[in-house]
Structure 1
Amino acid sequence: MKKISRRSFVKAAGSAAVLSMLAACGGSSSSTAASTASTAASTAGASSAAAASFGPDTQAIVDRGVLKVGVKNAVQGFSFQDTLTGEYKGLEDSLAEMIAEHLGVDVEFTTVTAATRGELLDSGDIDAVLATFTITEERKKSWDFTTPYYTDYVSVLVEDSNGIKDLAGLKDKVVGVSSGSTSARALVKAMIDAGVLDGANFDADTFNADTWKEGISFRQYDDYPAISTALSANEIQGFCVDKSILAIYKTDGRSYVDAEFSPQEYGIATKKDSDFSTLCDELVQGWLADGTVESLIKENGLS
């Protein structure tokens, strides 16, 4: 869905006002028209100077007139799409809109999942990902990430009726995770660190959620609602992901296990070695320093 940034709206409104003034003046007010034209030319010159400071990757976005951003559509506080209006609202949507405003372009949101966000970025269908994308050393080999704008922790949601209270209670159970996420690996490591599992055969670099069967097994799903449904049906006995995401699905009769682990730092992902990556990081660092990010975190109920 395409959304017009506030800056683009203001620019459009300003242009309309100038045209209206010129039309009203007619040929008899040449001095006023000349003054207006001079102001417009000065503004255009300033815009050109600003554009000249962009690198080629960023300039390509400016020339296109649209910043294409991959976001999630069902994560309250971060990015949630209203099913009636189609509008997206959350911390990550706001950050995307602010980047678009800085560039003077519109923003277009594409709904992504943990499994599709990297592919869409690689293919050029989107310019950036703001989708609770955890920064890892492995992922940094494929994409650039900005300075983290939020830090979360992984946990596990369970049905109270199963009597699971802690990591030990998950032993020999089946846990649901999102395809393409790092949650399963984080949970196994946490259980090993807690002495619940034997870590002799655990290798973080080669870990595979589909094949791991030592003391716990996993089932992968394409989206979070599917995991929640599977938990209700007892197809799985745990729902593992970042706690801020789990909060949406913590309804009556469900609880978190008594454990938070594996800090998850979220960053904006962009194409490797892109000058747009540098711009995004500079913007995030500035918004962190001046309190803008903290204000958005509070505004969206994430603190």
Structure 2
Amino acid sequence: MKKRVLSAVVAGMMSVMLMACGSTPEVSEAPEAATEASEEPAEVAGAAKEEASYPEDVQAVIDRGVLRVGVKNAVIGFGYEDPLTGEYSGLEIELAKALADKLGVDIEFTAVTAATRTELLDSGDIDCVLATFTITDERKESWDFTTPYYTDYVSVLVEDSTGIKGLGDLVDATVGVSSGSTSAKSLVKAMIEAGVISGDGFDEESFDPATWTDGVKFQQYDDYPTISTALSAGEVDAFCVDKSILAIYKTEGRSYIDAEFAPQEYGIATTKGSGMSAVAEEIVSGGLSDGTIAKLITENGLD
């Protein structure tokens, strides 16, 4: 009788233990499965949210897989294409690469001039411009610009043989400038402020270098190398543009005049009101804050 009671007790205890063991995985695994199920949709939802946060024009670049950027190809330190390798280098090239990296796309460079950069941007052939593009109030009416990433000054390069030393020596001279640039206007304004020309009839809004003849004349060219050649040939008496650009053409027997004027602030230009404008601003603001742009300026000999 005692054996039967003992057996019944042992059997009951084993049954309870088995029930407890069998129920443990159900209790412990359920929360784990729920956690995995909730985490996976959260990641997908987050990715979808991030993708959807891009404006339509930026998403189009991502879908294309290529960011198309207008750059200079003959301005050492900013945008320069090696004629042998085809490789681009310079401050603006590195900023363009950073923009492409942010979007996770490849990059395609298109060589532009002061005369063609806005045409290509307006036509949609390029997505943005990093081409020593000076920010002005007038230009901001047509295109968006980032915070400036570099500030330069306009100056004038001459052949030493001309004897031109300062702004006063440029009276009645012919000056070579790039088509579509603000250099001619800046020079006339500087000469007026220095009192070497009267400036009668000067109006910043309507100024046209092609028709200006009061005290100084201008000859416009499509690119900087052509202006430099014209200077050597005596077709023009001086070459006027941003000093960082002039530095490339300051060879033996040439000098800057004793004047720097009209601060030129460079920014990334994008289509007015586009989503790309905000992305470009993030790159520039971030690069200024963390010292990346300052480092690139030094590395490219622009300080």
TM-score (norm 1): 0.85
**Residue 189 of structure 1: how far off its partner (Å):** 0.2
Deviation at 1:53, TM superposition (A): 2.1
2:215 counterpart residue number: 215
The verdict on how the C-alpha distance between 1:47 and 1:249 changes in structure 2, with shifts beyond 3 A counting, is farther
Contact 2:98–2:283 (Cα < 8 Å) also in 1: no
Larger Rg: 2
Q: Post-superposition shift, 1:77?
A: 0.3
Q: How far 1:45 moved relative to its partner?
A: 7.1
> Residue in 1 aligned with 2:167?
167
Q: One-letter code of the match for 1:282?
A: E
CA distance in 1 between partners of 2:85 and 2:50 (Å) = 34
Q: Quote the Cα distance in structure 2 between the aligned partners of 1:99 and 1:277.
A: 11
Aligned to 2:302: 302
CA displacement 1:122-157 (0-9 Å, x = unmatched): 000000000000000111111000000000000000
Structure 1 SS opposite 2:248: helix
Residue aligning to 1:141: 141
Aligned mates of 1:88, 1:214 — CA distance in 2: 41
- For 1:71, the equivalent position in structure 2 comes to 71
- Could you tell me which runs of 5 or more consecutive residues in structure 1 were left unpaired when the two chains were aligned: 1-40
Structure 2 residue aligned with 1:103:
103
**1:51 Cα shift?**
2.0
Letter in 2 for 1:142: S
The amino acid of 1:71's aligned partner reads: V
Does the alignment pair 1:270 with 2:240?
no
Q: Find the residue that maps to 2:137 and give its secondary structure.
A: coil
CA distance in 2, matches of 1:237, 1:245: 18
Q: Deviations over 1:88-138 (max 9, x none)?
A: 000000000000000000000000000000000000000000000000011
Q: Are residues 198 and 296 of structure 1, via their aligned partners in 2, closer, same or farther at CA, if it must alter by over 3 Å?
A: same
State whether residues 143 and 271 of structure 2, in contact with CA within 8 Å, keep that contact through their aligned partners in structure 1: yes
Question: Structure 1's 268 and 231: CA in aligned 2 closer, same or farther, altered over 3 A?
Answer: same
Question: How much does 1:282 deviate?
Answer: 2.0
Q: 2:199, 2:214 within 8 Å by CA — same for their partners in 1?
A: no
Residue 260 of structure 1 corresponds to 260
After superposition, residues 1-303 of structure 1 pair within 5 angstroms as 48-303=48-303
1:143 partner letter: W
Distance 1:219 1:274, change over 3 A: same
C-alpha deviation, 1:43, in angstroms: 8.4
Instruction: Kindly state the Cα deviation for residue 52 of structure 1 after the two structures are TM-superposed.
Output: 2.3
Backbone CA RMSD of aligned residues:
1.6
CA contact (8 A) 2:154 2:240 kept: yes
Mapped to 2, the partners of 1:43 and 1:233 lie a distance apart of: 66
CA deviation vs aligned residue, 1:149-180 (integer Å, no higher than 9, x gap): 00000000000000000000000000000000
1:138 is paired with a residue of what secondary structure? helix
* Residue pair 2:192, 2:199 contacting (<8 A) in 1 also: yes
- Counterpart CA distance in 1 for 2:301 and 2:176 is 26
Residue 7 of structure 1 is matched in structure 2 by none
TM-score where L is the length of structure 2:
0.85
- Report the alpha carbon displacement of residue 275 of structure 1 after superposing the two structures with TM: 1.4
- Which AA in structure 1 matches 2:51? A
Question: How many angstroms apart in 2 are the aligned matches of 1:130 and 1:84?
Answer: 23
Paired AA for residue 75 in structure 2:
V
Structure 2 CA distance for aligned equivalents of residues 227 and 46 of structure 1: 54
Cα 1:177–1:56 change in 2 (3 A) is same
Compared CA separation, residues 281 and 161, structure 1 to 2 (3 A): same
For the residues of structure 2 that align with 1:249 and 1:46, how far apart are their CA atoms? 52
Amino acid at match of 2:125: D
- CA distance in 2: counterparts of 1:202 and 1:280, whole angstroms: 36
Segments of structure 2 that go 5 or more residues without pairing to the other structure are 1-40
Identity of aligned residues (%): 67
Give distance in 1, aligned partners of 2:87 and 2:109. 9
- How far apart, CA to CA, are the structure 2 residues paired with 1:43 and 1:179? 52
Partner Cα separation in structure 1 for residue 246 and residue 47 of structure 2: 44
Q: Distance in 2 between matches of 1:46 and 1:158?
A: 59
